[in-house]
Structure 1
Amino acid sequence: MKSIQTKFIALILGCVLLSSLVIGGAGIMNANQVVDKDSADIMNLMCSEKANELNGLFSCIEQSVNTVAVYANRELTDVKKFKTDPEYVREYTRRIQDIAVNAANNTQGALAVYVRYNPNFTSPTSGLFWSKTALDGRFQELPPTDFSRYSPDDVEHVGWYYLPVKSGQATWMAPYMNKNIQVEMISYVVPLYADNTTIGVVGMDIDFSLIKNSVNTIHVYDTGYAFLTDEQANIMYHRDIPAKTPMDSLESSLLPVADRLRSGGIGNYLFSYEWRGHRKRMALCSLKNGMRLAITAPSKEIDAAKNTLILQSSIALVSISALAVILTILMTRRLIKPLKELNEAAKKIAEGDLSVSLSHQTKDEVGMLADSFQQTVNHLQKYINYINGLAYRDGLTGVKNKTAYQETVANLEEKTRTGRPEFAMIVFDINNLKTINDTQGHDFGDILIIDSCKLICKVFKRSPVYRIGGDEFVVILENDDFENYEELLDRFNTALDDYNRHARPDGRISIARGIAIYEENVDLTVSDVFKRADDAMYQNKIQMKKRREKADRSGSGSNADLCPDGSTDRNPNGSTDRNPDR
């Protein structure tokens, strides 16, 4: 028969091993999910940032072309003459020529600019065409393309004109090779209309290497890179694949990616595929010119950190398990207490109770495990507190927000049902904030709110302060502050007077306030207390307004409402008894 000690040791060993496997497995699974999400976030963020950079370049080009188009439309004063008078057309071309060339000179990567007219009622070579004959050259006037030599269906030679006119909207043309200077270009063309008539187009040719160089600067992980496709999933630029190659003709695993590109959907996740026997993942973003930016990297590089973490976790799991077996056999009695403590702590955490404290008096691996466990709990508690702080803090002033106020009210409601709490509410309202925002700006108004909040917090530093509206604050008084509320209100009046005495005239603060004390036989809910305090505040506001108007009539100054308390009425409700709101 096995001894109880043997059975106990076997039980402990089984529990330790099982717990290690469960905790380690859960950690590995969690690490796997976290690393996958981080990888997707990294690649999608990089893709989005680079797409924004390229879109900024495209926006500058569009702005240059649109500027020329707007000027061209404005200078066209007589459409009828434009259709019938060649001399008018030549004069019109001379007027817009300088603007067009100047726009091209000031556009990064511009190689040519042109304004071409509708060949149906102008010469087939009418318009202007300025281009560089070398990358580092200057713009020169060249003969425009002769429309009469090509059919409107000849996309290769005159598609730059007929495609935007046919679509009726500004168009980014696909990259093409300019054989005159051996430079690949991409064009942006805007159709011109006047009196519901197609006048022509304004376009600009851009050095496509500018876009390619920007794409080539993208590097992710060790060998990750970027490339461009069009909206039909054809390669536009890739360091290894010829342009215009359909993506779905490369690998069958790219079919879903190609379908997604054609459907216009991008997503904020990574597309998995296989390329030349290697698993890869891809992030996609849409560009302003209709292209798609893709960033791709091998899965083994993306998962390298995850695999290392899993390996390290597995090694740690095996090592800890082996040590646990040895130490359990040699030190069963010593391990019972810390293991029980760990077990109890784990139960509390599983139930949502993070207020655990482990003594872990032993200095062995179990003690180290307990210490790590405690640190994890502490970090988790800090993180939860941080999240709660974001949820319950006002972003402008740093005091508690309306959500925190509502939760406090709910707690007070519970106290009123189960006991006889003693508390009071003070409602503060900043006067003239809308006027200040309208006349001096919202930034000045925000400063006024912050300074007002500081005054309130300075006086009521032991009581919670809540900002429940743009210019409204609530303070809930309990314990000593509740007992000494009159003294605190006097201190607030003094602090406000001192502030206004040293502030500039346009920086003085006027705050109306009202207080109400919870009365069991009067208030059915906490909201009733607030309403009485709010009513008292409005009465105080009315009194302040009257004093200000009286001071204005007597000529005592225009800032009477900024120091509304006077020397004879220090209580904001005109009363000093325990029920000042009545």
Structure 2
Amino acid sequence: MKSIQTKFIILILGCVLSSSFVIGGAGILSSKKVADEDSARIMNLQCENNAEDINGLLSLIEQSVNTLAVYASEELTDVERLKTDPAYVSEYTKNIRSVAVNAANNTEGALAVYVRYNPEFTEPTSGLFWSRTALDNTFQQLTPTDFSRYSPDDVEHVGWYYIPVKSGKATWLEPYENKNINVEMISYVVPLYADNTTIGVVGMDIDFNVIKEIIASTKVYQSGYAFLTDEDANIMYHKELEKGTAMSGLETTLQPVAEELKNGGGINHLFPYSWRSEKKEMTFATLINGMRLAITAPASEINATKNTLILQMSIASVVIALLAVLLTIYMTRRLIKPLRELNTAAQKIAGGDLSVSLSYQTKDEVGTLADSFQQTVNHLRKYIDYINGLAYRDGLTGVKNKTAYQEAVALLEEKSRTGKPEFAMVVLDINNLKTVNDTYGHDFGDMVIIEACKVICKVFKRSPVYRTGGDEFVVILENGDYDHYEELLDRFQMALDEFNEYARHDGKLSIARGIAVYDEYIDLSVDNVFKRADEAMYQNKMMMKRMQKEEAEAGLESAQESGAPDPY
């Protein structure tokens, strides 16, 4: 017959062991879920940021070509004379030439610009075609392609004209190799119409290497990388695969991923697959030209932190369980009180509450068990806080990142639905950052971003500062800063002037800014406030560029008046 003490020990041991396994299991499951979500967030955020960089470049190209197309349409005053009068065609071409060349000069990666007229009623070489030369990298006028030498079905030579004309809309053509200069290009072409007549096309050839460099520079975890496909999941750029390779024909596990790419879904989660016997996970985003930017990394690297944490928690659970057995045998009566406390704490943690604080403190084995339990909870809480910090903090500047900004916007949206919040948004953008990167390198560009962030945080030290892009920051003003936003903007200009007064020439800061105050009668959403602030920032940027241009012209005139030789 078992004694009461034996039964009591068995009962206590059962409770302690059960509690230990519940705590460990709940902690492991919770940690696994959090780690999986954060890994997906990191991959998706990287893909989203890179897609925004490429889309920004493509948008600037579209803007240049669309602006040239609008100007070409406005300059065309007589369609019938364009069809019948060669002199009018020549004069019209001369009028739009300077605008076309200027647009190409101010478009990143532009290799050629052209305006071609309908060969059905103009000369087969009519229009203009300017291309960069290999000698001095400047645009030179070349003879346009002779339409009479090719059939309209010859996509290789004149597809750039007939494809957008037949589709009746602006078109991004797939990358192709220009064998004349051995450069891979991607073209954006806009058809021109007037009086229900096809007038011609306006187009620009872009160095595809500009986009490839962005993709090639993408690094995720230790060996993760990015690649580019078209809308049919055919490789456009990959560090290992040839261009044109169909992903669906490589390995069986890639077929579902290829279908997802064809469907063009947005960034949602990670897609698992195997490549050369290695398990990988991938996410992707659809670019504005229809291509897919994908980011992939080995599953072992993505899950490394999670696996380490699970192993540590498993070991900790086993150690706690063994320790509980020894302490129960020798300290049955003293274990009653702390075991109750541990059991209560275990229930809280199993329910997702990590705010556990054990009050039982002694220098014996029971105190050691309680302390180990508390440390395990503390480590778990610190790790979760650390993971959240990675997800919401910008790695370069230390301020809040775009994910944190999106959550702040969601909170403001909720406030606007339930009340009348008072807030304003300040959008700030570092001018000429690309020029700095190209001239002094990206490390120096990062220093410029950091210095700009310091100036912003110094002025808006009581308001949250978010870095939402490579050179863009957003500040949300509430309470006292909202009431004195005009004073803060003046202080910001003074702080910027003070910084530039002591900075080297190559370290001076130029920051465009715009502000918008929430108005419940015109702002249907918080995003409307951001758009108004962003537009104000853009106008400020344009004004600063005009002032710089005027100052440069004034300096040139002054130099000429003083007898200095013309630099040109």
**What is the TM-score when the length of structure 1 is the normalising length?**
0.64
Shift of 1:354: 9.7
* Contact 1:360–1:371, Cα closer than 8 Å, also in 2: no
1:513-528 mapped onto 2 (5 Å cutoff): none
Counterpart amino acid of 1:32?
K
- Using the TM superposition, give the Cα deviation of residue 42 of structure 1 relative to its aligned residue in structure 2, in angstroms: 0.4
* Distance of aligned partners of 1:249 and 1:344 in 2 relative to their CA distance in 1, 3 Å threshold: closer
TM-superposed CA distance for 1:247, in Å, is 0.9
The 8 Å contact of residues 233 and 246 in structure 2, kept in 1 or not, is answered as: yes
How many Å apart are 1:11 and its aligned residue? 2.1
Residue number in structure 2 paired with 1:481: none
Give the structure 2 partner of residue 39 of structure 1: 39
C-alpha distance in structure 1 between counterparts of 2:275 and 2:377, whole Å: 46
Matched, 1:365 2:368: yes
Deviates more, 1:2-11 or 1:203-212: 2-11
Partner of 1:323, secondary structure, is helix
Q: 1:75 to 1:446 in 2, by over 3 A?
A: farther
Contact 2:113 2:131 in 1 (8 A): yes
How many Å separate the matches in 1 of 2:237 and 2:100?
A: 29
User: Residues 11 and 446 (structure 1 numbering): CA distance in 2 closer, same or farther, change over 3 Å?
Assistant: closer
Q: How many residue pairs align between the two structures?
A: 401
Cα contact 1:192–1:198 (8 A) shared by 2: yes
Q: Is the 8 A contact 1:357 1:374 kept in 2?
A: no
Structure 2 residue 258 is the aligned partner of structure 1 residue 255: no
CA offsets, 1:171-193, max 9 Å, x none? 11110111111010111111111
State whether structure 2 residue 299 is matched by structure 1 residue 296. no
What's the counterpart of residue 183 of structure 2?
Answer: 183
Partners of 2:79 and 2:351 in 1: how far apart? 80
Residue 254 of structure 1 and its aligned partner are, at CA, apart by 1.3
Aligned partners of 2:368, 2:167: CA distance in 1, in Å? 73
1:433-472 equivalence runs, <5 A: none
Q: Which letter maps to 1:239?
A: K
Structure 1 Cα separation of the partners of residues 197 and 477 of structure 2: 52
**Per the alignment, do residues 150 and 292 of structure 1 end up closer, same or farther by CA in structure 2, a change over 3 Å counting?**
same
Report if aligned partners of 1:187, 1:205 keep a CA contact under 8 Å in 2.
yes
Hey, what does 1:416 align to over in structure 2? none
1:314 aligns with 2:314: yes
Q: Determine the structure 2 residue equivalent to 1:166.
A: 166
Q: Using the alignment, how far apart are the partners of 2:129 and 2:353 within structure 1?
A: 76
Map 1:127-206 onto structure 2 (within 5 A).
127-134=127-134, 137-206=137-206
Q: Distance in 1 between matches of 2:184 and 2:352?
A: 63
Match of 2:427 in 1: none
| Inter-partner Cα distance in structure 2 for 1:259 and 1:337 | 59
Change (3 A) 1:445 1:266: closer
Please report how far the alpha carbon of residue 14 of structure 1 lies from its aligned counterpart in structure 2 after TM superposition.
2.1
More displaced 10-residue stretch of structure 1: 317-326 or 133-142: 133-142
Shift of 1:372: 4.6
1:480-517 deviations in Å (ceiling 9; x for gaps): xxxxxxxxxxxxxxxxxxxxxxxxxxxxxxxxxxxxxx
Corresponding residue for residue 73 of structure 1: 73
Counterpart for residue 578 of structure 1 = none
Partners in 2 of 1:77 and 1:245 — Cα distance? 47
From the superposition, tell whether residues 48 and 331 of structure 1 become closer, same or farther in structure 2 (CA, over 3 Å): same
Identify if the C-alpha distance between structure 1 residues 171 and 148 changes in structure 2 by more than 3 Å, giving closer, same or farther: same
Poorly superposed stretches of 4+, deviation over 3 Å: 344-358, 369-379, 443-451
Q: Given the superposition, is the C-alpha separation of residues 357 and 295 from structure 1 closer, same or farther in structure 2, using an over 3 Å criterion?
A: closer
Work out the percentage of aligned pairs sharing the same amino acid: 65
Aligned-partner residue type, residue 37 of structure 2: K
Contact (CA 8 Å) 1:116, 1:128: kept in 2 or not? yes
Question: Rg larger in 1 or in 2?
Answer: 1
Residue in structure 2 matched with residue 89 of structure 1 by the alignment: 89
Larger relative contact order (CA 8 Å, sep ≥ 6): 2
Q: Considering only aligned residues, what root-mean-square deviation do their CA atoms show, in Å?
A: 3.3
For the structure 1 residues 449 and 98, does the alpha-carbon distance in structure 2 shift closer, same or farther, using more than 3 Å as the test?
closer
Q: Deviations over 1:327-363 (max 9, x none)?
A: 2112222111111233345557889999987431323
User: Compared with structure 1, are the counterparts of its residues 220 and 349 closer, same or farther at alpha carbon in structure 2 (3 Å cutoff)?
Assistant: closer
The residue identity in structure 2 corresponding to 1:161 is: Y
Residue equivalent to 1:340: 340
Deviates more, 1:195-204 or 1:143-152: 143-152
Tell me which amino acid in the other structure corresponds to 1:196: N
* CA offset digits 1:406-462 (Å, max 9, x no partner): xxxxxxxxxxxxxxxxxxxxxxxxxxxxxxxxxxxxx999879969xxxxxxxxxxx
Note the C-alpha offset of 1:2. 2.4
Distance 2:380 2:215 in 1: 45
User: Residue in 2 aligned with 1:570?
Assistant: none
| Cα 1:312/1:248, change in 2 over 3 Å | same
Q: Letter of the aligned partner of 2:371 in structure 1?
A: M
With over 3 angstroms needed to count, the CA separation of the structure-2 counterparts of 1:290 and 1:212, relative to structure 1, is same
In structure 2, the CA distance between the partners of 1:156 and 1:171, relative to structure 1 (3 Å rule), is: same
Quote how far apart the aligned CAs of 1:137 are: 1.8
Whole-Å Cα distance in 2 between the matches of residues 127 and 161 of structure 1?
A: 12
Deviation of 1:284 after TM superposition, in Å, equals 0.4
Q: Are the structure 2 counterparts of residues 351 and 139 from structure 1 closer, same or farther at C-alpha, using a change threshold of 3 Å?
A: closer
Aligned position for 2:13:
13
Deviations 1:34-76 (A, max 9, x none): 1111011001001001111111111111111112111111110
Distance 1:210 1:350, change over 3 A: closer
Which residue identity does 1:139 align to in structure 2? F
Q: TM-score, normalised by structure 2?
A: 0.65
298-307 vs 247-256, which deviates more? 247-256
8 Å Cα contact 1:358/1:374 also seen in 2: no
Cα distance in 1, alignment partners of residues 264 and 161 from structure 2: 26
- Give 1:369 shift: 4.5
Determine the C-alpha separation between the residues in 2 that align with 1:205 and 1:449. 47
The question of whether the paired residues in 2 share the 8 Å contact of 1:338 and 1:366 is answered with: no
8 Å contact from structure 2 (residues 265, 285) kept in 1:
no
Q: How far is the alpha carbon of 1:28 from its aligned partner? A: 0.9
Cα distance in structure 1, aligned partners of 2:31 and 2:283? 21
Instruction: Give the secondary-structure state (helix, strand or coil) at the position aligned to 2:204.
Output: strand
Question: Which residue identity is paired with 2:200?
Answer: G
Give the whole-Å Cα distance in 2 for the aligned partners of 1:59 and 1:346: 54
1:264 Cα shift?
Answer: 2.5
2:253 is paired with a residue of what secondary structure? helix
In the TM superposition, residue 244 of structure 1 has moved relative to its aligned partner by 1.0
